[in-house]
Amino acid sequence: MLEGFLIGITTAFSITNILMVIGGCLIGTFIGMLPGLGPMSIIAIMIPVAITIGDPSAALILLAGVYYGAVFGGSTSSILINAPGVASTVATSFDGYPMARRGEAGKALTIAAISSFCGGTIGAILLMIFAPMLASVALLFHSAEYFALMVVGLSAIAAFAGTGQVGKALMMTILGLIMATVGEGALFNMPRFTMGIMDLQSGFNFITLAMAMFALPEAIFLVLDPARSKTKGDKDSGKISGLRISRAEARAIAPVIGRQSIQGFLIGVLPGAGATIASFLGYAVERNLATKEEQKHFGHGSIKGLAAPETANNAASTGSFVPLLTLGIPGSGTTAILLGALIALNVTPGPRLMVDKPEVFWAVIISMYLGNLILLILNLPLIPYIAKILAVPRTFLIPFILFFTLMGSYIGQNNSTELLILIGLGVCATVLRFADYPLAPLLIGFILGRMLEDNFARSMQLYDGIGFILERPMTLGLLILAGVLVLLPSYRARRARMRARGIADGD
């Protein structure tokens, strides 16, 4: 291991590979900022460029830099215009955008940058230490365990519901699961619930749904309610203040970053889990661990609610390289494209990669640490300029949001029907927001629904029925954990009511 590590340092710190890291981080960051152009799209475009490089180490370092650079930069559009174009930054918008609306865009971007850096760096260190061991743990997870893991992800809906809104959150989650069933199913390659529309044969597009749930209603709200469009940042359009975080805020987010770096990395190690689930679970865990007073701020600009998903998704992005490099199993759509790039470069990922190609394996890991450092150096000085997007008059910002919303949706499918679906879903989402229904659970249900159905169908086939729940102890344990996560908020609310009643009786 030590010999391979030294080879990796020598390879990663060559002039060519340092330039590859910088180039990948720059490309990934700016692409991540644009809603609709996620890491999958840009990595697919970059593969022909990477193959022409010739050196597998340099090519993979470039593509890896684009990947975690896009995740790093994806928080910007979520925080500033509430348009999460990448699934793993949806949870970032829950507290990042409210902070931007109250004039703390600079602080929100600073917290996101620091959390992303810490999550990615700690993830890289854990990857270096535990990669061989974690590869064997990942092998223990089969379809039944992944099904249970998706259920655990869905059980986090209570964390996205306000006081007394658990029922509404549950309804929205079910609606998201229903929408996930549109298109071809896991068991039969036949279209379902498409209403004869050919463009729905592959189901709803995530980018379209994300834009319809968050960005489009925001633009409509700004038009319908001019008072709402007057943010604190409008008072001084030439200056974005509050870029620094105080010592108290740093102390508050430090344990969150520590916990979510480890949790996010472990979730990223599991093939099929990825940064999206890590960010949602990170947010849910931190909200459940928070005090009752702190819980009130989640969804309204909590610094813990911002730090948790940003740390978790970057740590998970690093962790997803464990199954890719050590088992040859892609942990997400993006790493599936990276797997194709590896094969095109005549590199066979798997248990033998550390022995046969140590310069590739270790150079990628070392470059991740270097890349996260470069991302921090690039992004922190740019925060005052990036945050000035909020100083743009709202009469210009609304068309800007609408343009990126429509462009992001159209680029996803190159199909004009997608724009009609976007507008229809956006109007429905606006009505639901007026009725005070939380929209985040719908998106969670949609994202996890297809994976839930696929793994459940495979488990039913392998074990001839639902008996797999009792046959596999890990599956049963995860389902019990999901039940606890669902019941815990209700138990805490009931205990709080009983305590309040006891105080009232005492008075």
90-93 contacts at long range (C-beta below 8 A, 24 or more positions apart): 90/210, 90/214, 90/276, 90/279, 90/280, 90/440, 90/443, 91/279, 91/280, 91/282, 91/283, 91/308, 91/309, 91/313, 91/440, 92/279, 92/306, 92/309, 92/310, 92/313, 93/214
Contact criterion met (CB below 8 Å) for 276 and 306: no
> How high is the pLDDT of residue 242?
60
> How high is the pLDDT of residue 505?
60
Total-model pTM: 0.67
List all residues 6 or more positions away from 462 whose beta carbon is below 8 Å from its beta carbon. 142, 143, 144, 468
Residue 385 has pLDDT above 80, yes or no: no
Lowest mean pLDDT among 310-324, 401-415, 433-447: 401-415
Most confident of 37-46, 147-156, 170-179: 170-179
- Residue 174's CB is within 10 A of a number of other CB atoms, namely 16
Label residue 188 by pLDDT band (50, 70, 90): low
List all residues 6 or more positions away from 4 whose beta carbon is below 8 Å from its beta carbon. 354, 358, 361, 362
CA distance 13 to 19: 10
Residue 219 has pLDDT above 50, yes or no: yes
Average pLDDT value over all residues in the chain: 77
> How high is the pLDDT of residue 232?
45
Label residue 158 by pLDDT band (50, 70, 90): low
246-258 average pLDDT score:
89
State the residue for tokens 């309040």: 500
Lowest mean pLDDT among 113-127, 128-142, 353-367: 128-142
Residue of 399, 398, 394 whose CA lies nearest to 232: 394
List all residues 6 or more positions away from 477 whose beta carbon is below 8 Å from its beta carbon. 148
Residue 391 has pLDDT above 70, yes or no: no
> How high is the pLDDT of residue 34?
67
264-290 average pLDDT score:
81
Residue 239 has pLDDT above 60, yes or no: no
157-167 average pLDDT score:
61
Contact criterion met (CB below 8 Å) for 397 and 237: no
Q: Can you tell me whether residue 334 is helix, strand or coil?
A: helix
Render pLDDT for 41-57 as a digit per residue (tens, 0 to 9).
677 667 777 878 878 88
Label residue 237 by pLDDT band (50, 70, 90): very low
150-177 average pLDDT score:
73
List all residues 6 or more positions away from 232 whose beta carbon is below 8 Å from its beta carbon. 101, 102, 103, 104
Render pLDDT for 449-495 as a digit per residue (tens, 0 to 9).
877 888 888 888 887 777 777 778 888 888 888 888 777 766 766 77
Label residue 358 by pLDDT band (50, 70, 90): confident
Residue 233 has pLDDT above 70, yes or no: no
Helix ranges, 290-416 (H): 292-295, 303-319, 321-326, 333-344, 353-356, 358-387, 394-413
> How high is the pLDDT of residue 257?
92
Residue 141 has pLDDT above 80, yes or no: no
> How high is the pLDDT of residue 338?
77
Helix ranges, 139-246 (H): 143-154, 166-180, 206-210, 216-224
> How high is the pLDDT of residue 161?
58
List all residues 6 or more positions away from 395 whose beta carbon is below 8 Å from its beta carbon. none
Residue 181 has pLDDT above 50, yes or no: yes
CA distance 105 to 113: 12
186 or 295: which leads in pLDDT: 295
Render pLDDT for 410-419 as a digit per residue (tens, 0 to 9).
765 677 788 8
> How high is the pLDDT of residue 183?
81
> How high is the pLDDT of residue 261?
92
Most confident of 14-28, 156-170, 235-249, 463-477: 14-28
Specify which residues 183 forms β-bridges with: 192
CA distance 282 to 195: 37
Render pLDDT for 312-354 as a digit per residue (tens, 0 to 9).
988 888 888 777 777 666 656 677 677 777 777 888 776 667 7
